[in-house]
Chain A
Amino acid sequence: MLNAAVEFAGPGIETLSVAERLAIANMTTEWGALVGWFPVDAKSLAFLAARREILSTRGVERVSEDDLARWESEPPAPDDDAVYAACITLDLSEVTPQLAGPDTVQVVTGVAEVEPEGMPIQKAYLVSCVNSRAEDLAAAAAALEGKRVAEGVELYVAAASREVQEEAERGGTWQTLIDAGAVPLPPGCGPCIGLGTGLLEPGEVGISATNRNFKGRMGSRDARCYLASPAVVAASAAAGRITAPRRINGRRLTRRFEALDGADPARGTDADVRVEILPGFPERIGGRLLFLPPDNLNTDGIYGKDYTYRDDMTAGAMARVVFENYDPALAGRVRKGDVILGGWNFGTGSSREQAVTALQAAGIALVVAGSFSQTYLRNAFNNGFPCVTCPELVDWLKEELADPIEAGEKTIVPGDELRIDFSGGSIDYRSRSFRFPPLGTVPQGLVVAGGVENQVREKLGIA
C-alpha cells in the first residue's frame, strides 16, 4: 500500500453512504496510500446534487446541472483493462467493530476480543475530518440515548463543520449528546492534533473516532489511545470502558490479497532505451558507497528534533549532526561525493526538510534506496537532491553483505564506487548492472535548477 493509489470497486460500494466513503478514503492515508478513490454512483450523485442545492441558496455555484448530467452519463472510471499492482478483496458483511491501537493505527483488534477484559477509559473523542459528519454524530447519539457519560469519563464532541453542527442541532442529535454530558468543542481539528482543551493526561486511556493515535499526538506521551468508530466511542463513554453498542459475534475479517504482475514503477526501462538528459544534468554520477541496510530509516534518525526547530544551524553544523540518532559515527566518515544506499521506505516519518538538506550539507551526492517515503522524495527533489529507486540492487547487496548486516553494522563502507548511469538507466557496481526507472525531465529539471524555489523564480522571471 505504501505510496500506492487505492481504487475501490465492487458491489459492496453501493451499501456504503457517502459519509462512510469519505471516512474510508480519509483512512487510506494511514495505510500509506497517496489516493483513496471511490467510483461515482447514484448515491454520490444524489449527495452532489443536494450540496449544489444548498450552495445555490447562498448564491454560490461550483457544480452545474451539466456537470451532474455528465457525471451520471459518463462517470469518471478506470478502464476495464487498467493495470493494477495488486488486488485485495474484502467482504463488508464480515466487518465487526474494530479497535486500532494503542498508540498505532496499524494494530487492529476486534472490540469483541477486548471487551471481556473490561478496559476502562477516561477520555473519549468524537472529532475530526474522518468521523464527525451528521450520520456519525447520529450514530453516537443513538448509542447514548437515555444514557449519560460515565463517572470519571470526559466525552468531547466537535462537528466537522458549523453546517454539520447546525444540521445535528436541528435533528436533535446535538442535544442528545449534550444531555448525555458530552463537552462540545467548536468545528475544528482540536484534540485530534493535540490542540486546545480536553487532551489526554498522563496515565489516561482514551478512545477516539479520529484517524491517528501516535504516541504524544493527542496529549501526554504517557497516555494510551485507541481508535474506533463513533458508535463504539459513544458506547464506551457511557460504559466507562471499551464496548460496542450491541452484542456482536467475534467474526474475523477475511482479506484476500492477490499480487498482480503489472505496473511496477521500480522496474527499469529496457536496456536499449536511452533516457533524455537535460543540459546541466549529469549523464553519470559515481561515488563511494555508504550502505545503510535497515528498512524504514526514519527522519528522526536522519536529523534529530533537537536541531529541527533551530534557525541558526549552518551547513557545517548540519553536516556534523547528520544521521546522529541512527549512527553517531557516520557523520565523521562521510566524504564529499559519497552515495548512500538505503533499504525500503527510506525517509519515513515527519516532513522535516532537513532530512534532505543535511545530506546535501554533508556533500552526499544522492541516495539510492529500495523505496522512499513519498514525503521524503518530495522534499528531496524540491531541494534539487536526486533520489533513485533500485530494489534489485538493495536485494542483491543485502545478500552479499549478509554477515556484517547480521553482526549489526549500521553503516557499511565496502570502499568501492557505485556508478549511476542516468541516460542508460543502470547502476553499475562490482561489474554487475541493475536497472532503475529513469528520472524524467521533470525531476531532472528540479535538480538542474537547484530546487523548486529556484525553478519557480525562473518561471516568474525573478532574478
Chain B
Amino acid sequence: MGQTIVEKVARNHMAEGPGDRALAAGDFVTIRPRHVLTHDNSAPVMKKFKAIGATRVLDPSQPVFALDHDIQNTSDENLAKYGAIEAFARNQGIDFYPAGTGIGHQVMIEAQYAVPGSFVVASDSHANMYGGVGAVGTPVVRTDAAAIWATGTFWWQIPRTVQVVLRTSSWRSADSTTRARC
C-alpha cells in the first residue's frame, strides 16, 4: 500500500512498532527522533528528568537547547535558571545556544538539525515549521522530552494525512506571492 511521507519517515525512525507490515494512520509506534529541541522549558524538563531518577542523557547529540522565550528578563531568578540550563548542557555534552542566538525553531533550521526526511521534535507547538525544509517536525510535551533524554525515544500515533495542493493560475513570481492564513 502506498505510504504518505509521515508513514515513511516514521518508519525510518521507528524503534518499536508493527514490523511486519506498512505503517498506517492510527498505528502506535515508538520513535527515535533525530533531535529534540527544548528552550526555556529545558528547566522543567530537567526537573522531570531528575524525578524519573535518570542521571545521564542517553544520546547527548540528540537534544538541542536554545534559550529564546524570556531573554529580556535579567532578574537574578531568570539568570540563575538560564545558568542552570547551560550547566546541565555542558555537563551532559548537549549543544547549547545561549539567549540572543535566536529563536529555537530558527536555530534548528540554520544549524541544520532539521533536514529533509528527518523526524525532529520540540517541546513547543511550532515544531511543524521544520516541514518547510522537508523534515517531519512535530510537537511533544515536556514529559516526552524527559523520556527522550533518558531513553532516546518517545511514543507516537501515526496521524491521518491531508494533502494540500497548491496551484498557481497566473504568471506571478515568487516575490509577489503573499501568504494566506487558513
Contact = CB atoms under 8 A, between A and B. Distances in A.
B174 to A, nearest CB: 5
The secondary-structure label for the interface of chain A is mixed
Interface string A82-110: 11111111111111111010000100100
Interface string A285-319: 00000000000000000000000000000000000
Contact of B112 (A51, A375, A440): A51
Interface string A34-56: 11111110001001100110010
Contacts of A17: 174
A181 interface: no
A67 B112 CA distance: 12
Chain B CB within 10 A, most for which of A26, A98, A379:
A26
Interface in B135-167: 135-141, 143-144, 146-147, 150-151, 154-155, 157-167
B178 interface: yes
Contact of B164 (A9, A80, A195, A452): A9
A21 to B, nearest CB: 4
B72 A18 contact: no
Nearest to A8: B164
B166 A22 contact: no
Contacts of B104: 129
Contacts of A433: none
A253 B125 CA distance: 27
A416 interface: no
Contact of B168 (A12, A33, A266): A12
A377 B125 CA distance: 15
A456 B49 CA distance: 10
A382 B141 contact: yes
A416 B42 CA distance: 46
A66 B175 CA distance: 31
Interface string B3-26: 111111100000011100000111
B99 A188 contact: yes
A20 B177 contact: yes
B96 interface: no
B132 interface: yes
A222 to B, nearest CB: 23
Interface in A145-203: 159-164, 185-190, 193, 195-197
Contact of B132 (A24, A188, A197): A24
A5 B100 contact: no
B144 A452 contact: yes
Contacts of A455: 147
A247 B135 CA distance: 37
A281 B160 CA distance: 27
Contacts of B89: none
Contact of B110 (A51, A75, A132, A189): A51
Contact of A187 (B102, B112, B179): B102
Contacts of B179: 20, 23-24, 27, 95, 98, 229
A95 B174 CA distance: 12
A197 B24 CA distance: 47
A6 B161 contact: yes
Contact of B128 (A35, A108, A379): A35
B130 interface: yes
Contacts of A132: 103, 106
Chain A CB within 10 A, most for which of B111, B133, B173, B181:
B181
The 4 lowest CB-CB distance pairs between A and B, nearest first, are: A161-B102, A12-B166, A265-B26, A81-B2
Interface of A: 1, 3-13, 15-18, 20-31, 33-40, 44, 47-48, 51-52, 55, 60, 62-63, 67, 71, 75-98, 100, 105, 108, 128-130, 132-133, 159-164, 185-190, 193, 195-197, 211, 227, 229, 231, 253, 255, 263-266, 351, 353, 375, 377-379, 381-382, 437, 439-443, 446, 452-453, 455-457, 459-460, 462
12 contacts: A10-B166, A11-B168, A16-B177, A27-B182, A35-B137, A62-B113, A85-B160, A87-B163, A161-B106, A188-B69, A188-B71, A460-B150
